[in-house]
């Protein structure tokens, strides 16, 4: 029986890797823990700088590799998952474009009523003038009430 012997699988064949939806979350957490590892290593006064740099490089590489092998991003391994940092640049461009459109619309809402106001006033004045000119051609007759005789 051919089995996938990937990291995180036990004898039962179950995948014990942590399932996540975003690579960005993992990268942010990795950054935090890298800083913590650097601080812990800087606290070691008995180690020379050259050795600290070598240990730091090895620790960070092992830590990153261990995390990458222990997570699934949307059901895909770390290498197969899309890099979301590239998408952030596209989102930033899209956000900038949206902000520009919102600003343009806001300016139009403020300026267009000022631009059309004279035309609206002119139209209302013309309508008022037409109402003054309008006269009844025929005068209505008053009708007296007629009594209907019943036979």
Q: In angstroms, rounded to a whole number, what is the distance separating the alpha carbons of residues 33 and 39?
A: 10
Supply angle C-alpha 89, 95, 98, rounded to 5: 145
Q: Torsion over CA of 63, 67, 69 and 71, rounded to 10 degrees?
A: 180
Sign of the four-CA dihedral 76, 77, 80, 86: positive
CB neighbour list of residue 9: distance below 8 Å, 6 or more residues apart: 3, 15, 16
Residue by residue, pLDDT tens for the chain (151 residues) are 344 445 545 556 677 888 888 888 888 888 998 998 888 888 888 888 888 899 899 999 998 999 888 888 888 888 887 776 656 666 778 888 888 999 999 888 888 888 888 999 999 999 999 888 877 667 777 777 776 665 5
pLDDT value at residue 11: 59
Cβ atoms of 21 and 74 closer than 8 Å? yes
Nearest to 36 by CA among 63, 65, 17, 66: 63
Supply the pLDDT for residue 3.
42
pTM, 2 dp = 0.46
């Amino acid at each position: 029986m051919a089995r996938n012997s990937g990291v995180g699988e036990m004898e039962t064949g179950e995948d014990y890797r942590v399932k996540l939806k975003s690579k960005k979350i993992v990268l942010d957490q990795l950054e935090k823990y890298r800083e913590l590892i650097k601080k812990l290593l800087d606290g070691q006064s008995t180690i020379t700088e050259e050795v600290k740099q070598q240990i730091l490089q090895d620790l960070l590489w092992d830590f990153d590799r261990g995390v990458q092998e222990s997570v699934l991003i949307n059901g895909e391994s770390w290498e197969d998952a899309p890099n979301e940092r590239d998408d952030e640049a596209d989102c930033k461009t899209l956000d900038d474009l949206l902000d520009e459109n919102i600003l343009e619309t806001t300016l139009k809402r403020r300026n267009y009523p000022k631009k059309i106001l004279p035309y609206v006033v002119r139209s209302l004045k013309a309508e008022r003038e037409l109402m003054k000119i309008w006269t009844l051609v025929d005068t209505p007759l008053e009708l007296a009430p007629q009594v209907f005789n019943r036979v």
